[in-house]
Structure 1
Amino acid sequence: MRYTPVACALALALAAVSSSVTGQRPDHQVDARSVALVERAAAARTAGDLNGATDLLETALAVDPRNRSAFIALAGIAQAQQLPGKAIRMYREALLLEPTDLAALKGQGEALVQKGAIAKARENLARIKGLCSAATCAEATTLAAVIDKGPPPTALSAKAVTPAPTVAVEAVE
């Protein structure tokens, strides 16, 4: 008799949890409309329309936020636009969906090098080497080469190239 309230509460909790789990789609099932938008974005990027490709990829993510390839493509565009911080964030989103995605790990490592975070890029390289089953892994080789090359030279800011103002001193007579 004293276990009845506990049993009822557990049964209710089990029913609530199981009904919410059955309503979710598996990770590997990405909405076909989202996949089509990613393909259109790839065509736009090939044509050189980075802004149009970004818009299509963001729409693809609005349709299905579990589309890992859309995150990876957005990160690639961000790298092409010299926005490594945005690229790192997009790769992180892809890695939250699939932590063992070699392409996302490699891309994030390259973006980290682009930003100057070599130590973090080496961590990604170590993760890739741990995940690769083959003796030679293309992702590991590529990322190691990028790390060895190092970050790109820093671009000069407007402040760095603007000459200091000169004040003319007039002679007082």
Structure 2
Amino acid sequence: MRLSPLFLSLTLAVSASGAIGQKPDDQINPKSVALVEQAAKVKAAGNLTDASGILETALAVDPRNRGAYIALAEVAEQQALPGRAIRLYGEALALDPNDLKALAGQGEAMVQKGAVERARANLVRIQGICKTGCPQQAALSAAIAKGPPATVLAAQATDKVPPKGEEGKTTKP
């Protein structure tokens, strides 16, 4: 029984010191935030490769930096890499599933990739979150209305056409 107060005080001391060193989830490392700001300047100067590298460093410093994922996805879109952009927007959405910018950006990248139905699903999610209409909703609606680039449509059309002489043949498993 004598050890009980000692044990209790040690337990409290250890658990309190562990809680002091932890940061809340909503607090992003300031160094990571500064790197995102630096990358924005580099991107504005037109150097997408360096901006991408800085943003990846920002994510290494703090992988909870949703803004870094979104900025990196935007760089990927400018580099004509919609598949990568979709994945990066998905990472941002994993941190906050209701991020309108990430939902709209991912939807626009999906349209660029030719996945219009998936983009429409993002639009429905945006409409559910943003009842009064918001710029992200308008931007994604416009992208869907415009449709995928002609090169994507042409590639999709050739994927659906069977090769010559193969039109009526069926394959057996």
TM-score, reference length from structure 2: 0.75
- Is residue 149 from structure 1 mapped to residue 141 from structure 2 by the alignment? no
1:83 to 70, 81, 84: 81
Q: Secondary structure at the match of 1:154?
A: helix
Q: 1:49 to 1:83 in 2, by over 3 A?
A: same
Deviations 1:52-94 (A, max 9, x none): 1001000000000000000000000000011000000000000
* CA shift digits 1:76-130 (9 cap, x unpaired): 0000011000000000000000110000000000000000000000000000000
SS of match in other structure, 2:128: helix
Unmatched segments (≥5 aa) in structure 2: 1-11, 156-173
- The CA deviation at 1:24 is 4.7
What is the CA–CA distance in structure 2 between the aligned matches of 1:69 and 1:140, rounded to whole Å? 19
Report the alpha carbon displacement of residue 138 of structure 1 after superposing the two structures with TM.
1.1
Segments of 4+ moved more than 6 angstroms: none
For 2:67, which of 54, 66, 69 is the aligned residue?
A: 69
Change (3 A) 1:149 1:127: same
Could you tell me the percent identity over the aligned residues? 58
Question: Structure 1 CA distance, aligned partners of 2:136 and 2:22?
Answer: 32
What's the offset of the Cα at 1:136? 2.2
For the residue of structure 1 that corresponds to 2:97, the secondary structure is coil
Aligned residue type for 1:62:
A
Return the alpha-carbon distance in structure 1 between the equivalents of residues 54 and 77 of structure 2. Answer: 17
Partners of 2:73 and 2:22 in 1: CA distance: 26
> Which amino acid is the alignment partner of residue 83 of structure 2?
G
TM-superposed deviation, 1:148: 0.3
CA distance in 2, matches of 1:75, 1:60: 13
Aligned residues: 140
Specify the structure having the higher radius of gyration (Cα): 1
Amino acid at match of 2:88: M
Are positions 1:55 and 2:53 aligned together? yes
Whole-Å Cα distance in 1 between the matches of residues 94 and 151 of structure 2?
A: 30
* 8 Å CA contact 2:127, 2:133 repeated in 1: no
- Find the aligned partners of 2:112 and 2:23 in 1 and give their Cα distance: 36
After superposition, the C-alpha distances for 1:9-63 in whole angstroms (9 at most, x for unaligned) are: xxxxxx9xx89x9465323200000000000000000000001100100000000
Task: State how 1:1-173 maps to structure 2 within 5 Å.
Answer: 22=19, 24-133=22-131, 135-154=132-151
Residue segments in structure 1 that go unaligned for 5+ positions in a row? 1-14, 158-173
Do the aligned partners of 2:82 and 2:110 also contact (CA within 8 Å) in 1? yes
- Displacement of 1:141 after TM fit? 0.9
